[in-house]
Amino acid sequence: QVQLVESGGGLVQAGSSLSLSCAASGRTFSSYAMGWFRQAPGKEREFVAAISRSGDSTYYTDSVKGRFTISRVNAKNTVYLQMISLKPEDTAVYYCAATNTVMIGLAYYRNSDYAYWGQGTQVTVSS
């Protein structure tokens, strides 16, 4: 089992940057592939980014490619989401998620493939 706590959300202006962190408990963080998802009011939860257990592979939804960067520091049990050029449509609650199943290709994009979720952190981008 792993427990996840997101932080770093806030209110920013369009075009600005923000970095989110997800701190994980336990001694086996490197056994988990990690993902970021987001959910806006009245919308379905959607995939944002993911990173493999080793950090060698990353995945992004098209709408954030070139703007968001996911990374992890296994020694710190932490995964990060660096966001630049933020847009009002990026406004959402951002959730950190983890899975210790074998993840290949499109599996990284599916909500149902992640067993553990954080409480979420609010990101609001004003125009």
DSSP 56: S
- The reported pLDDT for the residue numbered 57 is 95
Q: Other CB atoms closer than 10 Å to residue 33's CB: what's the count?
A: 25
C-alpha distance from residue 71 to each of 2, 57, 58, 66, 76 (Å): 18, 10, 8, 14, 12
- The reported pLDDT for the residue numbered 27 is 82
How many whole angstroms separate alpha carbon 106 and alpha carbon 10?
30
- The reported pLDDT for the residue numbered 98 is 96
How many whole angstroms separate alpha carbon 92 and alpha carbon 72?
22
Full pLDDT tens readout for the chain, 127 residues: 799 999 999 999 999 999 999 999 988 899 999 999 999 999 999 999 999 999 999 999 999 999 999 999 999 999 999 999 999 999 999 999 999 988 788 888 888 889 999 999 999 999 9
Assign 26 to helix, strand or coil. coil
